[in-house]
Amino acid sequence: MLSAVDMSERVRSGENCEEILHEIYERIRSSELNCYITLNDKALDEAVQIDRREGGKSGCGKLLGVPVAVKDCISTRGIRTTCASRILNDYVPPFDATVVAALREEGAIIVGKTNMDEFCMGSTTETSYFGPTLNPHDTSRVPGGSSGGSAAAIAAGETIIALGSDTGGSIRCPAAFCGVVGLKPTYGLVSRYGLIAYANSLEQIGPMASSVRDVALLLDVISLKDRRDSTQVKLPPSDARTNFNADSVLGMSGDDAISSLKGLRIGVPAEFVHGISKDVERAFWSAIHALEDEGASYEEMHMDTMKYALAAYYIIAMSEASSNLARYDGLRYGLRLNRDDDWHTTFSRIRGEGFGEEVKRRIILGTFALSAGYYGRYYLKALKVRTLVKREFESAFRKYDVLATPTMPMTPFRLGERIKDPLSLYLVDVNTVPINLAGVPAISIPCALSPLPVGMQLIASHFEEEKLLKVALACENLMNAHFL
């Protein structure tokens, strides 16, 4: 499969875009993976239009003709957007999310909307109303979640690049489980306008692809300023981090990237390595030692607040979810049942039948945490822990250039193995949720693909995506040469 960088260059040079897109749609239609909820029925027409513009030569978009999959919680004008929930089964947004408008502006073609855990609540893509997505490496196993459809589509060649969203690991988890690359940007870098909210203070839209270069290119397209998003950070123009520019990453050769590892200081928090499976441990340390052989240095260190991070995350996330999902009453939009009773009965029936088990569980837990008598005991205390987690990350980055951890504590587990045990499922996120609490950027790259994928997570300080991607590119080249 072509990379996004290569395909956009070839389309501009006159290569047929329609043929490539047709091949992708044939692959989707014959697939058993269930990566997509809705396909874009206008995509092939868009490809034909690009080809008619003298082979695309008149186009100058960075993603001209590149097929992109969009997670089904991101608004797409005229294309059904369900959040993988029955309650939004027939919802067609009248507007594009800012990131989708940016994709269209740069000439990308939206293939369709990818499957996900319902309202992003899960780590396996099993809670979807439309059925689970399967892992392309082993169809008896989960692809991770909640952006499992996006990751599986990339791994299976059913798209070239994709958008996901990450509230507590929802990009990095499926990237690790499917053996692809996924980046959670700094909170406030990418516009959230048009993202259907789960937990406003935690989630970010981010790029997913089969390579670091494609992730850098996609991030470059979507990280534009947006006055409609009040959560976007407004850095002063004098700050070098005001805009992310992919050119410095795309312009690096493999050898240059690897040579840049000399002198790199890596911190390995012991709390992220403790208790992981043997397969993951072996792959992770092999990758760290390979980096050391190229001149990087690593040091095991401790982050004491991490033992509180998972509990604090779930209190905050569920509390925000209970507030955000209160809007789905079936009276203004969404699911509407045939029979109406009094308001309370109708409201309860619609939400009872429209939401799945996991969503209802999180709404109830979040409502409890925000209720009188418990708000201070749980929610406010979780916010204080969040501040401590953020400060500890800031302290770590005064000593280290990046932190490195396993993305997930285990390899992909089997379908149905954990879905009936919520506590066990929540513990899967132990290595990813602290990053969302701190708001820092993190990327998952493959460090092993056999017998099952293993991801390594690299973490940098706020708005240091350029540094993070350069290190990830070096690691990718090194892993390709030695392990993959």
Q: Evaluate the omega torsion of the peptide bond into residue 451 and state whether it is cis, within 30 degrees of 0.
A: yes
Task: Classify residue 26 as exposed, middle or buried by CB count within 10 Å of its CB (0-12, 13-18, 19+).
Answer: exposed
Catalytic-labelled residue, pool 146, 191, 223, 260 = 146
- What is the SS3 assignment for 303? coil
Catalytic residue among 62, 71, 113, 470: 71
DSSP secondary structure letter of residue 56: G
Q: Residue 297 catalytic?
A: no
User: Are 448 and 283 within 8 A, CB to CB?
Assistant: yes
CA-to-CA distance for 206 and 182, rounded, in angstroms? 7
Q: Which amino acid is at 381?
A: K
Residue 247 token pair: 């050119």
Which helix (H) or strand (E) element contains residue 310?
Answer: helix 306-324
Give the CA distances from residue 158 to residues 23, 49, 396, in Å, rounded to whole numbers and listed in that order. Answer: 9, 21, 39
Please calculate the CA angle 176-426-441 and round it to the nearest 5 degrees.
Answer: 50
Active-site hit among 123, 150, 170, 223? 170
Q: Residue 62 has which token pair?
A: 């960075």
Q: DSSP 3-state assignment of 178?
A: helix
The phi-psi region of residue 427 (left if phi > 0; otherwise alpha if psi is between -120 and 50; otherwise beta) is: alpha
146 an active-site residue?
Answer: yes
Q: Does the annotation mark 286 as catalytic?
A: no
Instruction: Report the candidate in 426, 440, 333, 334 with the shortest Cα–Cα distance to residue 386.
Output: 440
Pairing of strands 161-166, 204-209: antiparallel
* DSSP annotation of 405: E
Tokens 């949720």: give the residue: 433
Question: How many whole angstroms separate alpha carbon 118 and alpha carbon 82?
Answer: 9
> What are the C-alpha distances in Å from 84 to residues 35, 105, 149?
12, 27, 11
Contact 470, 248 (CB under 8 A): yes
Q: Strand pairing partners for 406?
A: 456
79 in Cβ contact with 175 (< 8 Å): no
**Alpha-carbon distance values, 307 to 82, 201, 270, 303, 389 (Å):** 35, 21, 11, 9, 10
Which SS3 state, helix, strand or coil, does residue 39 take? strand
Both structure tokens of 200: 């406003």
Active site residues: 71, 146, 170
